[in-house]
Amino acid sequence: MDLHVVIGFGPAGAATARLLAGQGHSVRVVTRSGGRAEPGIEHVALDAADAGRLTEAARGAAAIHQCASPPYHRWTRDWPALAASVNQAAEATGAVLVMLGNLYGYGPVDGELTEDLPLAATGPKGRVRAELWERARALHEAGRIKAVEVRASDFFGPGVTDGGHLASRVVPRLLDGKPVSVLGDPDVPHSWTYLPDVAATMAQAAVLEEAWGRAWHVPTEPALSVREMVGRLAAQARVEPVPVRRLPSAVVGALSVVSPLLRELREIRYQFDRPFVVDSTAYRKAFTAAATPLDEQVEATVDWWRARLAGDQGRP
């Protein structure tokens, strides 16, 4: 089987690496700190912004899966160098570049999000995400690299502990019968992308030549509001429904003084104040792919959190 290089070992990188290893591929994970070896997975400690060292680590690889992300408040500072290094490694090695993207680049949109929409974001984080793909696509169209971007909405599922509305500030609280407080309107429809579906799409896009050269949305189940998703999670956990409350703007403003993350989230508040709905029809039709059924997503998420909270720190 082939060698695949995975940059980053957060939830998406770890899920992608483990799926590829489970398919029989050799996997080399690149992070700054390295990690413990797992069956089929080698960990290499290096800074992926070092193009020379990254190129050497990717020699002989069939694909480079770019799942790393700088700290949220350093996107505009750190992304350009990291992306340039990854593009250089893809060009030097001939490996397919599979980029994990998000939906920030579109900016606020009326209606469903489709891949043919312009990348019209004007905020700094939206613009940097758009520019990452625009540069990779230009290199692809020039014949210098082979690239594809896989875009996902908010992650949730086994292994997702931070950064999502359905992670650490929701599931542990509802399992404990405590109210849940969220940013934005808890009753507007929102798309939630299941982490194993992200990994499956990353792995599949690497080998589908007809997928290269464009961006695709990960197969995602129909949108549900935060309140509806909390209700589904509570029902699966067999606990009483818990109140779902919107954090008052004054509270968010006060917390933003001491929380860099909350300050940075102001740019994308529209994603939770208004409907934010992903259309993943294109990928599903082109490659006969489907999202994991919602009931299975919810069951696996609750089971994983229960095990984690009980002290079982095993991987998802």
Q: How many CB atoms lie within 10 A of CB 59?
A: 13
Residue 312 has what pLDDT? 64
Say which amino acid occupies 204.
Q
Confidence check: pLDDT of 199 > 70: yes
> For position 72, what pLDDT does the model report?
85
Find the mean pLDDT for residues 30-38: 92
Q: Is residue 304 part of a domain?
A: no
**235 found inside a domain:** no
**257 within a domain of the structure (yes/no):** no
The pairing of beta strand 41-45 with beta strand 26-31 = parallel
Least confident range of 80-84, 184-188, 237-241, 251-255: 251-255
Q: What is the pLDDT of residue 59?
A: 97
The pLDDT-based confidence of 166 (bands split at 50, 70, 90) is: confident
Is the pLDDT confidence value at 53 over 90? yes
pLDDT, residue 164, reads 58
The model's pLDDT over 106-118, given as tens digits with 9 standing for 90+, comes to 999 999 999 999 9
Q: Against a cut of 0.75, is the pTM above it?
A: yes
What is the pLDDT of the chain when averaged over all its residues?
Answer: 92
Q: Is the pLDDT score of 316 beyond 70?
A: no
Residue 139: pLDDT above 60? yes
Write the CATH number for 127: 3.40.50.720
Examine residue 144 and state whether it is found in any structural domain, yes or no: yes
pLDDT at 80: 96
Residue 241 lies in a domain: no
47-57 average pLDDT score = 98
* Residue 267, pLDDT score: 77
When pLDDT is averaged across residues 91-113 and rounded to a whole number, the result is 97
In the chain, how many domains are there?
1
* Mean pLDDT for the stretch of residues 108-137: 96
pLDDT tens-digit map of 249-297: 655 555 554 566 666 667 788 898 999 999 999 999 999 999 999 999 9
- Whether 89 is covered by a domain: the verdict is yes
Q: Is residue 312 part of a domain?
A: no
Listed residue (28, 37, 116, 39) closest to 67, CA to CA? 28
Give the integer Cα–Cα distance in Å for 52 and 50.
6
- In this prediction, residue 1 carries a pLDDT of 81
Does residue 152 sit within a domain?
yes
Name the pLDDT band for 311 (thresholds 50, 70, 90).
confident
Domain that includes residue 197, residue range = 3-157+192-221+278-292
Looking up tokens 């929409």, which residue turns up? Answer: 117
Could you give the percent of the chain with pLDDT greater than 90?
82
